[in-house]
Structure 1
């Protein structure tokens, strides 16, 4: 049924014949090249094996035996699963052979890949998911994806709930695991038939978050609050909040990445790190004043606008990520103090500015297609895509509602 032969019907430019594997089933024959060739004088056509004097005979024999064993093993798999097959499907099965990897192997490789392309924050999210799964399995995650069944997922959910895990965190853990499973299937490291998320619905998790937005008047109070002029971190915290509110709800990571070249002809244009989308919005007088307050002599177009990152110090993506994470923690602590000074009863963070931007515009009657009604994690991307797809004149008009 499976044979290796020297294909005499085809002669290569060097006078050799290619070696092929021949699959015979139900009277049908299929051939596939092994990628090597042999001079016919060194080939025994009766035994279909290289002669004793054949150059590289041991290597050729090794390749032949390996290929024969691979196809015989695939035939046994088909038979054990009671699957009918033809010469063509056997060949296709081997061509698209799944190279199984354990859940642990795949997670580690994918996390390393994310780090290699500078996706440090995303890599951390996958690392958190990986660590949660290791705790659940008592560090015994050397299992294959087909072992993650509906029953397995139900047990994992119960374990997370028993561990007092928040609903939103449970949702994130399952979405990340589902993403890994999908990537393993696409990478031919797991079988699609084993996919358990058709039955296990992640949409059942309640991921609604408490309202973060504050009204227009509260945002004006923050803009007008008096601060100690000697506390530069407090001033920076206020400035970053106000800048985000006035500039399309731009998030902290994208603010930290802004360079002077991102502002031109009254527009702020930047590539959103999370989605890779280009965002272009008008930048008003108040926001420009904030930018100008951080100008230094001899500033270059590729210098950062705000004193968060330093291009001479924060060079690698990991260094940038760690610096932004550290500064953000400090900024949010300062915003709590600013909130109290402004007389606002709110848990003020940089994300409140982002939510408030959308909420204030919606309350001002701006088309819901321009600003989505809610700004949960799943909606942030959609909102930015909406902003990007509208004419600048529509966005210009909408932004006037902020003050």
Structure 2
């Protein structure tokens, strides 16, 4: 599927399984609830974050799901009926800021071009339904249609259409470059192959998050500032403003809330536009 970063994450998980178990020359049935609990405990002893532990185990679950789909194993040796990955997610540290802290970030004046870019990407994400960094980096002028930002989310391929607010348009205008089709100076026509694009995105995201973390420390924010905090904050601010969870899910383009998504497609842009008036 050419999801190079995603594939890379699976390679990291694979190495982790090998390091823990010494080899993977074992039947699926050996990976039971007890095995998973030992693996979870081992990862905690490595001082890995809850989100990393959750990701590794979800990758293992994905392999089990594929094995069942391909009839390589029977569902009776599926350990994830009893071992719930969701319990790990509940332990994840808070990733959202309140509106007051968001405004602090928006009012911060960057002291270098990279710091300014980091702030602008964070604000642009917050103002545009928590659009993630990879989707921001790949946005082109052709994604602006009738004052809406319209794009297919990289992760889920879901079509997203968000009304562009004046503050977001100002950020776009700031980075306008006639030599590049991209809205932001992350990718350029130089980056042609999937590998070049993936490497560039990885490098710039690391820089952006490094600057955001430093800015967050200067502003004495309660949590480390990253691009992902913008997405969580967008959803949390709207939720606290009384906006329907269903409309928030629609604007975020979630695929994990599959049951909700069955009836979310009926929400139109006007409802999302009205909901987003609560952001500022």
Say yes or no: TM over 0.5. yes
Q: Residue 197 of structure 1 aligns to a residue in which SS?
A: helix
Q: Residue 247 of structure 2 aligns to a residue in which SS?
A: coil
Q: Counterparts in 2 of 1:268-347, with a 5 A limit?
A: 268-297=149-178, 303-312=181-190, 314-340=191-217, 342=219, 344-347=221-224
Q: Residue 249 of structure 1 aligns to a residue in which SS?
A: coil
Q: Which has the larger radius of gyration?
A: 1
Pairing 1:127–2:8 present: no
Shift of 1:287: 0.6
CA distance in 2, matches of 1:182, 1:316: 31
Shift of 1:148: 3.1
Q: Residue 245 of structure 2 aligns to a residue in which SS?
A: coil
Q: Deviations over 1:151-203 (max 9, x none)?
A: 54444344434444444433322221121022123224334444333344434
CA distance in 2, matches of 1:306, 1:387: 30
Residue equivalent to 1:181: 64
Which stretch of the first structure deviates more once superposed, 140-149 or 119-128? 140-149
Residues 137, 368 of structure 1: CA spacing in aligned structure 2 closer, same or farther, 3 A cutoff? closer
Q: Deviations over 1:244-292 (max 9, x none)?
A: 1111111111101111100111100011111110000100111111101
Shift of 1:381: 4.5
Residues 163, 321 of structure 1: CA spacing in aligned structure 2 closer, same or farther, 3 A cutoff? same
Shift of 1:396: 0.9
CA distance in 1, matches of 2:240, 2:34: 46
Q: 1:255 aligns with which of 118, 136, 142?
A: 136
Q: Counterparts in 2 of 1:158-177, with a 5 A limit?
A: 158-177=41-60
Would the aligned equivalents of 1:280 and 1:388 in 2 still touch at CA under 8 Å? Answer: no
5+ unaligned residues in a row in structure 2: which ranges?
none
Q: Residue 57 of structure 2 aligns to a residue in which SS?
A: helix
Shift of 1:150: 4.4
Q: Deviations over 1:116-163 (max 9, x none)?
A: x3111221221122111111221x222333443445444434443444
Would the aligned equivalents of 1:168 and 1:207 in 2 still touch at CA under 8 Å? Answer: no
Q: 1:232 aligns with which of 100, 106, 113?
A: 113
Q: 1:368 aligns with which of 225, 245, 252?
A: 245
Q: Residue 177 of structure 1 aligns to a residue in which SS?
A: helix
Paired residues in the alignment total 275
CA distance in 2, matches of 1:206, 1:257: 29
Residues 343, 388 of structure 1: CA spacing in aligned structure 2 closer, same or farther, 3 A cutoff? farther
Which structure features the higher share of helix residues?
2
Residue equivalent to 2:106: 223
CA distance in 1, matches of 2:50, 2:223: 23
Normalising by structure 1, what TM-score?
0.61
Would the aligned equivalents of 1:146 and 1:191 in 2 still touch at CA under 8 Å? Answer: no
CA distance in 2, matches of 1:334, 1:165: 23
Q: Deviations over 1:83-116 (max 9, x none)?
A: xxxxxxxxxxxxxxxxxxxxxxxxxxxxxxxxxx
Q: Counterparts in 2 of 1:44-193, with a 5 A limit?
A: 117-138=1-22, 140-193=23-76
Please tell me the root mean square deviation across aligned C-alpha atoms, in Å.
2.8
Q: Residue 205 of structure 1 aligns to a residue in which SS?
A: helix
Q: Counterparts in 2 of 1:341-360, with a 5 A limit?
A: 342=219, 344-360=221-237
Normalising by structure 2, what TM-score?
0.86
CA distance in 1, matches of 2:88, 2:68: 24
Would the aligned equivalents of 2:156 and 2:255 in 1 still touch at CA under 8 Å? Answer: no
Pairing 1:395–2:272 present: yes
Shift of 1:215: 2.2
Residues 122, 227 of structure 1: CA spacing in aligned structure 2 closer, same or farther, 3 A cutoff? closer
Residues 153, 233 of structure 1: CA spacing in aligned structure 2 closer, same or farther, 3 A cutoff? closer
